[in-house]
A and B are shown apart, each in its own frame.
Chain A
């Protein structure tokens, strides 16, 4: 009996070690368990940002599926540039404000917003309109312009990025949401959900120096994943990104793409973007590298997608 038991447990162990629990692990870390009836990706078109967000969240089971009472929430928009909202360099402030309201409605104790900006941080926070939208919804803007706000963490799954300093607000919160704006990017080709991670780290220069596309994919493997990737495509920048020169670089599309799966969110966004300005997913190196690190799949045919037109 002993030998049989031993062989059986050895076999089971062998089988168990080949199982991958990425999805379960990611889900457990984000307060929810994937239930087969919720979609993998929701795309909404034709409404104002707050309305589209409401509809998208409803498909996922409402904000309560992600935020529990008394929790600390971080929303990470793109606030990188000292530009007004009409120039589509930063996430739409109405969208950010709406998300803050949802989180508080779910009973969150504290909702924090930050970004490690490229231009002067207080100007970015103010001129993007995000500070006003957030504070009028009761959210708190946290500076990210000083190294003292960051803490070193390890990124064990990274290929070229093995450790980096990440903003303490994100490290210490209960749940975080990734809220990029859809833009093209001179360096990384596109800046969507994965590239938006660069605003949570202190040392961006390391990324540029050490293989930008690989480091973007690496940092996305950090153990604390966003509950949702909410891609703002209300007004996008399709050329001269990420900063843009003028209104001629922008186009109003009134769309929102939401997914807990970061690769799916970015892959869908690129396909959407491709209708305005040609962009092949293979040009955007960090997507394939992200897939190689098990961050998700870009094969949208395998996913449950809900499309809503308002």
Chain B
């Protein structure tokens, strides 16, 4: 293989995945066809959580064959870090603004984080997955920081277009944002920016559980970057070009658990000693011995670090109190099913929030508890869940929201309406309103006779689906009708259809 072209193939492939993924989150001009949401499904953590074993096996196989190519091509956080790296790398890899050099692997840190993430998940908390999954973090950065910044641009373009009589571009309002989401997204962005500007793929090799996990497999990869000992002059140029800081040029060795196969090193070598090749069986076996040595030496340290962090973190993980069902319980989006399942499977990537056309989804703060940080909940300030829409369920890449068919979504009960007569405009001022019942798609909220020919709402919770039409439309403050969450999603009774009326009208009646 030609050395130059490999890197550019990697770059092109990375762009092919990165651009649609990013666009999907920030698409304020509605340019992306909805079916391109499929690009989100190739992200590792969502695929794993939603049981898309084909994709999981594909990523395993990819890593086993080619190394951590996932981290350079598919992972959006990885590609973003490469952008940052470029800024400080300088034009010539041999002359850099920052100094990269070989660093020892921080195994105690990355493996304890990986074990903690998996362990806490097994014990019933997805909090670490939510906070550390690179895909979800990128999704949040795009949804909470980038997209809102584009809304003024959309407004500007739309105003100009309307002035010219062109209505092809539609105005977009900011989707639900919460302070916690903005803060966490900003923290992540700053963290990886600083880490990658200074030390390349530091996040990927110290914190990221996906990277660490794939690193366990990539140690055995069949294709790998190799240094030809006989040609190597130990000048260290390749070391300085390695974003993962995994090339020890003194011994001409590469740590394959950290190599993200970015191929930057291939072009840096002055002696053409670095190449990406299939290794023979013999070489494969001999390479395996070295890592084993290291493990033995640091085992005690790892065990101590692991147990200490586990003991320290255990209370944090265990503090996932289940909220008792009250009206303050957050309402899950349709398709969430059981609350435990939703809290465990949702990684708060905010794809659903950016796609909701009715602006009814907002990141929760601590409503779901710590493990549910920033997971979406329904709110009916700016809109209500449209009866014919299934977008959030179709977008969710982790399977936290099951893509129900439309007919099922129309009886999926996320909560039920609750009427407070004292707040109602009809009760207080004795004039007609009916805004709630008007918006009710199942007529669970129906107007019934009140006094003096007035009608007042009456709720039949069994046929209510909790769409929030009534709450959104209610003009009273405080609201006279609100939706109370179900702990787990229920199925509403199908509203009775009734028989067609046989009517014969002969005259006009006037």
* A residues in contact (CB < 8 Å) with B: 43, 45, 82, 118-120, 122-123, 127, 140-143, 145-146, 148-149, 185-189, 204-206, 208-209, 211-214, 238, 240, 242-243, 245-249, 251, 253, 255, 257, 267-268, 271-276, 283, 285, 300, 305, 307
Interface centre among B171, B441, B446, B505 (most CB of A within 10 A): B505
Do A238 and B443 touch (CB < 8 A)?
no
Given contacts A82-B387, A242-B438, contact A188 B432 (CB under 8 A): yes
Bound CA–CA A245/B497 (angstroms): 7
Closest residue on chain A to residue B446 by CB atoms: A186
Bound CA–CA A238/B432 (angstroms): 19
Bound CA–CA A300/B510 (angstroms): 8
* B residues in contact (CB < 8 Å) with A: 158-159, 162, 167, 170-171, 357-358, 386-389, 425, 429, 431-435, 437-443, 446-447, 453, 455, 473, 475-476, 495, 497-501, 503, 505, 507-510
Bound CA–CA A276/B504 (angstroms): 8
Given contacts A209-B425, A214-B431, A249-B498, contact A186 B437 (CB under 8 A): yes
Partner of A213, one of B386, B431, B500, B509: B431
Bound CA–CA A250/B476 (angstroms): 31
List the count of A-B residue pairs having beta carbons below 8 Å apart: 131
Partner of A120, one of B159, B162, B357: B357
Q: How far is the CB of A1 from chain B (nearest CB, A)?
A: 56
Q: How far is the CB of A62 from chain B (nearest CB, A)?
A: 23
Contacts of B505 in A (CB 8 A): 253, 255, 272, 275-276
Closest residue on chain A to residue B496 by CB atoms: A245
Do A209 and B510 touch (CB < 8 A)?
no
Contacts of B432 in A (CB 8 A): 187-189, 211-213, 285
Task: Across the A-B interface, give the 8 residue pairs with the lowest CB-CB distance, nearest first.
Answer: A187-B434, A209-B475, A248-B498, A186-B447, A271-B510, A186-B437, A208-B435, A208-B475
Contacts of B434 in A (CB 8 A): 185-188, 208, 212
Bound CA–CA A140/B435 (angstroms): 29
Contacts of A204 in B (CB 8 A): 435
Contacts of A249 in B (CB 8 A): 498
Partner of B438, one of A148, A186, A275: A186
Interface centre among B429, B434, B447 (most CB of A within 10 A): B434
Q: How far is the CB of A44 from chain B (nearest CB, A)?
A: 9
Do B508 and A245 touch (CB < 8 A)?
no
Do A272 and B510 touch (CB < 8 A)?
yes
Do B435 and A187 touch (CB < 8 A)?
yes
Bound CA–CA A186/B357 (angstroms): 27
Contacts of A211 in B (CB 8 A): 429, 431-432
Contacts of A186 in B (CB 8 A): 434, 437-438, 446-447, 455
Q: How far is the CB of A78 from chain B (nearest CB, A)?
A: 13
Contacts of B357 in A (CB 8 A): 120
Bound CA–CA A274/B510 (angstroms): 10
Contacts of A123 in B (CB 8 A): 386, 388-389
Closest residue on chain A to residue B383 by CB atoms: A120
Additional pairs, 4, CB under 8 Å, beyond known A119-B386, A213-B431, A255-B508: A43-B508, A82-B387, A127-B388, A283-B453
Do B167 and A143 touch (CB < 8 A)?
yes
Given contacts A208-B425, A242-B438, contact A253 B503 (CB under 8 A): yes
Contacts of B443 in A (CB 8 A): 240, 243, 245
Do A212 and B433 touch (CB < 8 A)?
yes
Bound CA–CA A45/B507 (angstroms): 9
Q: How far is the CB of B330 from chain A (nearest CB, A)?
A: 23
Contacts of A283 in B (CB 8 A): 453
Bound CA–CA A192/B510 (angstroms): 16
Bound CA–CA A275/B507 (angstroms): 9
Bound CA–CA A255/B508 (angstroms): 9
Do A120 and B167 touch (CB < 8 A)?
no
Do B503 and A271 touch (CB < 8 A)?
no
Bound CA–CA A242/B436 (angstroms): 11
Interface centre among B425, B434, B508, B509 (most CB of A within 10 A): B508
Contacts of B495 in A (CB 8 A): 245
Do A187 and B438 touch (CB < 8 A)?
yes
Bound CA–CA A255/B437 (angstroms): 28
Q: How far is the CB of A203 from chain B (nearest CB, A)?
A: 10
Given contacts A188-B432, A238-B501, A248-B497, contact A243 B508 (CB under 8 A): no
Do B508 and A271 touch (CB < 8 A)?
yes
Bound CA–CA A127/B387 (angstroms): 13
Do B386 and A120 touch (CB < 8 A)?
yes
Do B508 and A272 touch (CB < 8 A)?
yes
Q: List 8 A-B contacts (CB under 8 A).
A: A43-B510, A120-B386, A187-B432, A187-B433, A189-B432, A213-B432, A249-B498, A255-B508
Do B167 and A118 touch (CB < 8 A)?
no
Q: How far is the CB of A271 from chain B (nearest CB, A)?
A: 4
Closest residue on chain A to residue B167 by CB atoms: A143
Bound CA–CA A231/B387 (angstroms): 27
Given contacts A146-B171, A185-B438, contact A276 B508 (CB under 8 A): no
Q: How far is the CB of A235 from chain B (nearest CB, A)?
A: 11
Q: How far is the CB of B265 from chain A (nearest CB, A)?
A: 51
Contacts of B500 in A (CB 8 A): 247-248, 251
Do A143 and B425 touch (CB < 8 A)?
no
Q: How far is the CB of A170 from chain B (nearest CB, A)?
A: 15
Partner of B473, one of A45, A140, A208, A307: A208
Q: How far is the CB of B510 from chain A (nearest CB, A)?
A: 4
Contacts of A242 in B (CB 8 A): 438
Contacts of B438 in A (CB 8 A): 118, 185-187, 242-243
Partner of A148, one of B159, B387, B439: B159
Closest residue on chain A to residue B431 by CB atoms: A211
Bound CA–CA A249/B503 (angstroms): 12
Bound CA–CA A238/B500 (angstroms): 11
Do A143 and B170 touch (CB < 8 A)?
yes
Closest residue on chain B to residue A214 by CB atoms: B431
Q: How far is the CB of A2 from chain B (nearest CB, A)?
A: 56
Q: How far is the CB of B429 from chain A (nearest CB, A)?
A: 7
Bound CA–CA A72/B469 (angstroms): 35
Bound CA–CA A141/B425 (angstroms): 35
Interface centre among B432, B434, B440, B476 (most CB of A within 10 A): B432
Do A209 and B455 touch (CB < 8 A)?
no
Bound CA–CA A10/B439 (angstroms): 56
Bound CA–CA A188/B437 (angstroms): 11
Bound CA–CA A212/B510 (angstroms): 27
Closest residue on chain B to residue A253 by CB atoms: B505
Do A275 and B509 touch (CB < 8 A)?
yes
Closest residue on chain A to residue B439 by CB atoms: A118
Contacts of B497 in A (CB 8 A): 245-248
Bound CA–CA A243/B498 (angstroms): 15
Bound CA–CA A142/B170 (angstroms): 11
Partner of A208, one of B358, B433, B440, B453: B433
Contacts of A120 in B (CB 8 A): 357-358, 386, 389
